[in-house]
Amino acid sequence: MSYGRALSPSPSDVSSDLDLDLEELDPNSTKKYPPSNRRSILGSDHRSSFSPHRRSSSRRSEEAGAGRGRSPSRIALRNLAMGLGGRGRSARRDDDDQEALLGGRRSSAADDSGNAPLLSRISSRLSMRSGRSTSPEPSINPAFTPSTETRTVALSGRNDGSYPPNIISNHRYTVFTFFPLTLYHEFSFFFNLYFLLVALSQIVPALRIGFLSTYIVPLVFVLTITLGKEAHDDIARRRRDAEANSEPYEVLALGVAASRPASRIRGLGKKKAGTVGTLTDDRENLRTIMKKSRDLKVGDILVLKKDQRVPADVIILKSISADVENGGDPEDGTNGEAFIRTDQLDGETDWKLRMAPALTQALPASKFETFRITASAPSREVNSFVGTLEYPGSGLPGNQDADSMLQQNIPLQYTRSQSVGLSIDNTAWANTVLASNSTTLAAIIYTGPETRAALSTSKGRSKTGLLENEINNLTKILCILTFTLSIVLVALENFGNHPNNPGVKDPDDPNEVRSGAWYVKILRFLILFSSIIPISLRVNLDMGKSAYAYFIEHDKDISGTVVRTSTIPEELGRVEYLLSDKTGTLTQNDMELKKVHVGTVSYAGEAMDEVTEFVKQGFSQANSGTELVTPSTGPAAHSSTTRTRREIGTRVRDVVLALALCHNVTPTTATEEGSTEQTTTYQASSPDEIAIVSWTESVGLRLVHRDRKGMKLMSVDTGEIVVRVKILEVFPFTSEGKRMGIVVQFLQGDTASTSKEQDLLNDDDDEGASSSADDSGDIWFYQKGADTVMSSIVASNDWLDEECGNMAREGLRTLVIGRKRLGKARYNEFSSKYKQASLLLQNRDKSMENVVQEYLENELELLGVTGVEDKLQKDVKPSLELLRNAGIKIWMLTGDKVETARCVAVSAKLVARGQYIHTISKLKRTDLAYDALEFLRNKPDCCLLIDGESLALFLEHFRNDFISLAVQLPAVVACRCTPTQKADVARLIREHTKKRICCIGDGGQASLAADFSVEQFCHLTKLLVWHGRNSYKRSAKLAQFVMHRGLVISVCQTMFSIASRFEPIALYQGWLLVGYATLYTMMPVFSLVLDRDVDERLANLYPELYKELTSGASLSYRTFFIWVLISIYQGSIIQGLSQLLIGLEHFKRMVTVSFTVLVLNELIMVAMEVTTWHMWMVIAEICTLVFFVASVPFLGDYFELEYVLTGDFVWRVAVISAVSLIPPYVVKVAGRRLRPPSYAKVQGI
C-alpha cells in the first residue's frame, strides 16, 4: 500500500479563518457503543415508492452526466441559489443577477463575501415545472422575511406550516412582469428615454418629420437586443432553477401505515450480536419515498449518498461508510463521520469533517421520529450554529425486561430521556456536497430562503465602470449642444412665427415651407438633431464588452480565466491599487514543514535524519514485545548514548508524538481509477495540518486511523501500531482563537491484550463511559497555535520569542506546541462543566471557552516550535515587478507575523531592490502614531510594514491622515490583519482616491464572488497589462467613433437647415437615417474592438505603457472636443461642397452625393484610425462597401439613380471626400511626428 498526500483541487486560503473541525461539544455524547457490522444504511436491494421508471431514468441521467465529466449532483450548482441565491456558491456568468459579497473570511466583513452580506431581495416568481405534476408547485411570498425566533423541529415530520418551501428561485421576472420591469429599467437610461420621446413626438402632426419608422426602428432595434439578452439570461436561470427544484431526494417515511410497502434498509442501528442492549436481528424495515427538492419540508430526514448535493440546511443524524456496506470492517465504518465539500458555500476547497451525534448514531433510524431538535433562528453565519438534540427515551414501562427492549431495538442506556448540544460540526448547509463514500441520514432544519446560503446573499446589482460614467458625462454635453444648436438656429430667424400648419408651403411663395411657431421649430430641430445623441452607443459598447470577455476566456496563456462580470472588462486597464492576500495568492498554499525547534536544538534539512533516528528509537518495541508507547515511556534503558542525548531524544519524541496527535487530519484510503493499489491520503481543513502530519510520517510515525473515538499511530520502521489513544475532546482552530487543542487518553499495555480487552477506539462501555475517563491510561491535553496566543498559555521560558522571530525572518509560518497532563478527577470535573456549557442556547461559545481556559489553557509544558514553508506561486517575482513598473501600487494584507510578512515581501519582489522598509508595530500611544505619520511624510518612497494593532490605532485616531499618506507609497504590507480590517482598508482607499482598486484573494469563495477569476497569480499580469489595456483603449476609440458618426450627420443637417433659411426640414429621411447608423457603418466601426497599438511582447516589455491609461487620456474632454472639431469640419465640407457643387434646386442629386460621401468618409476614417489590421476588419470594410453599392438601386425614393452612373457624380464624390479626409489625416501625421505617443515610440523595437 502506497501513501501520498492529498492535493487540493485548487489553492485555498490557509489563514484558517474558517477552519471547521472535529469538535464534539457534548462530552457525554461520545459514548463508545458496540460497533456495527451491518452492511449498509440503504442496501443495494432497497426499494422505494418512487416509480421504477423514474428511478431508472434518473439513474441514466446521472450516468450521462458523469460520462460528460461532471458530477451528476452538481448540475448547475455554480449558478444556483437557495431561495434568494447562494453566496459564494455561484460560479455564475449571470453576474447581474446576484453579486456575492465577501463572506466568511470575506464573509465576516463585508460584501460579495466579507463584510456582512446583505439579505437579498426576493423577486416575484413564476415557478417552472418539468414534467407533469398533480400538486401545485410551492412558491415564496415576495414579502417573506426569515424568522427571528428559535425553532423546535419534530423529526416525525409533524411540524406546522409556517416554514417556507424549499425552492430555488433565481429568476427575476414572471410572464406578467418581464416587459414592465425590463422596459422601466431600459428607459431609466437617458439614451433610451430621449429616443422614446423623439419617437412619440412623431404622433403630433406639428412635429412629424419624415417617416415614423425613421425614429422607431433604431429604438426598437436597441431594445430588442437588450431585452432579448435579458430574456435569454432569465430563461437560463429558470431552467437551472427548475432542474435543481426537481432533483429527487430519498426521504425516510417514519410513522407510516404498516400496510404500506416497505423498503429493506440495512445498517441502521445494527449492533454486535449477543451484546446486551443491541439489536439481534440482522435487518430493520423502513420505508423511503422520493421527493423533489422543492417538496422537502422542515423535519424530513434525507438519505444522502456520495457526491449528492445537500438541498437544505440539515443536521447529520447518522452516517455509515460504504466500506461497511461492501463488507468492510464495521469498526471503521460506524463512527458517524462524513466529509463534505463546501466550496460552493464558503469557498474552502478542503473537505470538512462532520459528525453525527453519538446519541443518534447509536440508535436505529426507526427511533428518529421521537427526536426533537431545538435550533437557533435562521442566520447568515455559515461558521456557527447552536442547537440541542432531545430524545424522550424509549417510553417503555419500567417493568420491561432486557429481552423485551432488545426485541424493540433499544439499547439499555436509551430508556431515559437525554439531550445533547449541537454545533457546526453536526451540520451540512445547503449547496454543500457529501464527499465521503458513505450513506448519511440528515434532518432538515432550514429550507429555501431561510438557509445559510440564501441569507448570505446580497441583493443583485450591476456594476458600472468608470468609462461608462465618463461617456455619460460626454453625452450630456452632446445633449446641451443639441438644445443650444436648435435655439441658435431659431434665433437666427428672429424667433419668427408662422400661423400656417408646419410643413405646409407658404401660399404667398410656393417655394417656401413654413414650420409654425418658434417653439415648434425648436422641437423639430431637436428631433432632426437627435442623431447627435448616439442611441447605438450602448449597444456597441455592450457588444464590445462581450467580445473582450470572449478574448480573455479563450486566451490559452491564461487558460481557466473566467469573466463573471462582463460589464467592466475595460476597468482592468485602469487599475492603480492592487490589494492582495498572501497565503494561497502570492504563495501556493502548498505547505512543507521545514524546521522544528525543541528548546535547545533546532532541526532542519539533513538534520531531519537525526529526528528520524530518535523516533525510531523512541517508538521501538524491540525491548518490550508489543507494548504501546505513552508520553511517560522513555527510550530503551540500555542505550549507549549520553544522558544529554537521551534527554534530547525524549524531547524530540514527545514533540513528534504531540504533532502526530494534535490535529484535525483524517486519513482516507481509496483506489485510483485504473489502479489496483490503494493510496492513503490526508484530509483536513488546513494545509498546515496536512503538512505537519505528512512530516511526522516522514520521520517515522504514521497516522493510520482516526475517527471520532480515537487514533492509531504506526511505526513506519516496524509496521506495528505503537500508539492508541481515545479522543475525549477536540477544540477546533478559529480565526479568533488562533489555536487548536485536543484531549486524549493513552492506552497502556500490549497491543494483543488491548485489541481483545481494552480497545478504546471501539469501547463498549455502558452509560457514562464517554463523559468521564476510565482508568486505563493517562490523560493529556495537547495544544498548538500562533505564538501570539500561546506565549501566555505555556509556562514561562526564555527562548520562545527569539526562536519564533528567527523562523519568521526565514519566511516560515510558526506554530507553538505544548501539552499538559490531567488527573482523572480534574478531567471529570472539566468534562462535567464543559457539557453543561455546551447545552446552553445563550452565550454557549463564551461559556465553553471560559471552562477551557480555567481547566486546560494555563501553564502548558512548552514542547517546541515548528516552521512551515508556504512556497511562492509560479512567476510571482517577475509578475509583481512588472505590475510595480506599470505604476500599480501593491498592498499585501495578511494575517501572518511582521517578520514573516517582511520576508515574503522581499522574496516575492513586492519591495524593490534597495527600497527602505519602514516598520510600524505594536503602537499603543497616539503621540507615537503621530510621529510615525510625520516620518512617512518625509519618506514617500519607502515601503510601509504595519501590523494590525498599529493599523487599528491609525484608523481610529488618524484615519484621513494615514490613508492620504499610505496611498502615495509604492507598497504597503499590513500584517496581523483581521478580515474586517482588510475590508476597511479597501473601502478607505476607494473612498479617498476614487481610483480603480483590484482586490485579489484565493479560494473557491473568492473565486465565485469575484468579477474575474484566474488560476495563477502570474495570469494577473496579462489580464491587466494586455487584456485590460486593450479593452480600455478599444472601448475609448469605439465610443468616440460612434459619437463622431452621429455628429457628422448632424452637422450636415445643420448646414442644410441654414441653407433652407433655418427651416427644420429633414435632409436624410427614412432608410437613409436607419441604414447609416446600422448596416452602412456599424460593422467597420465595431471592428475597432480588434485593433491594438502594440503587440503583447511590447506591452510586457514596456509596462509603463499601462501607466498612461490611469490618467484616462484615451477618452477625455480634450480628445472628445478634438473629435467634435473633426466632425464639424467634415460635416461642413461634405454638405457645404455638395450644396455648392450641385445646388439646393437638385435636392435628390445633392442627397445622392452628400450621403455617398458621408458613408465613404466613415469607412475611410475607420481605416485611418486602425493601428494594426486584422482579417475581420478588412472583411468588415469590404462587405460594408459592397452592401452599400448593392443597395443603391433600391434607394430610388432618396437618390437620383440616373445621376449615379455619370462621371459628374464620381468626380464630385472624389473631390468632396478628398477635401474632407486629407486635412485631418495630415494633421494627425504631423502631430504624431511632433509629439509621438508612447506606443509609437516603442513600435518597431
Cite the active site residues.
Answer: 581
Q: How many CB atoms lie within 10 A of CB 1145?
A: 8
In this structure, what is the dihedral angle of CA atoms 895, 899, 905, 909, given to the nearest 10 degrees?
-160
Burial class (CB in 10 A: 0-12, 13-18, 19+), 609: exposed
Q: How far apart are the C-alpha atoms of 1030 and 1027, rounded to whole Å? A: 5
Could you give phi then psi for residue 1089, rounded to 5 degrees? -70, -10
Partners of 730 in beta bridges: 742
Helix axis angle, 979-993 relative to 948-957, nearest 10°? 40
Strand ordering across the sheet containing 943-947: 917-920, 943-947, 971-975, 889-893, 575-581, 996-1000
Q: Residue 1019 is placed in which grid cell?
A: 495570469
Going from the C-alpha of 1189 to that of each of 780, 931, 1204, the distances in angstroms are 91, 75, 11
For 392, the grid coordinates are 424522550
Tell me if 573 sits within 8 A of 1029, measured CB to CB: yes
Kindly give the interhelix angle for 213-245 and 178-186, rounded to the nearest 10 degrees: 130
Tell me if 101 sits within 8 A of 1009, measured CB to CB: yes
Q: Which helix (H) or strand (E) holds 577?
A: strand 575-581
Residue 958 to residues 104, 605, 833, 950, 987, Cα–Cα distance (Å) = 28, 46, 45, 11, 16
Residue 487 φ/ψ, nearest 5 degrees:
-65, -40
C-alpha cell at 318: 447518522
Rounded Cα distance, 732 and 665, in Å: 11
Contact 252, 232 (CB under 8 A): no
Tell me 623's DSSP state: T
Share in percent of the chain as helix, strand, coil (round to 5): 45, 15, 40
Q: Which residues contact 878 (CB under 8 A, 6 or more apart)?
A: 909, 1018
Relative to beta strand 433-434, strand 337-341 is antiparallel
Instruction: Give, in order, the Cα–Cα distances in Å from 636 to each of 617, 821, 1122.
Output: 7, 23, 90
Residue 62 φ/ψ, nearest 5 degrees: -65, -40
The owner of cell 466613415 is 1162
Helices (H), 839-897: 844-855, 876-885
Q: For the CA atoms of 191, 195, 196, 200, what is the dihedral angle to 10 degrees?
A: 160
Backbone φ and ψ of 897, nearest 5°: -70, 165
The DSSP bridge partners found for residue 101 are: 112
**Whole-angstrom distance, CA of residue 1081 vs CA of residue 144:** 50
- Inter-axis angle of helices 959-966 and 926-937, nearest 10: 30
**Cell 522513555 sits at which residue?**
634
886 vs 967: CA distance, rounded Å: 16
Question: What is the distance between the alpha carbons of residues 667 and 3, in angstroms, rounded to a whole number?
Answer: 10
Angle (CA) 918-920-925 rounded to 5° is: 145
Which residue shows C-alpha cell 452526466? 65
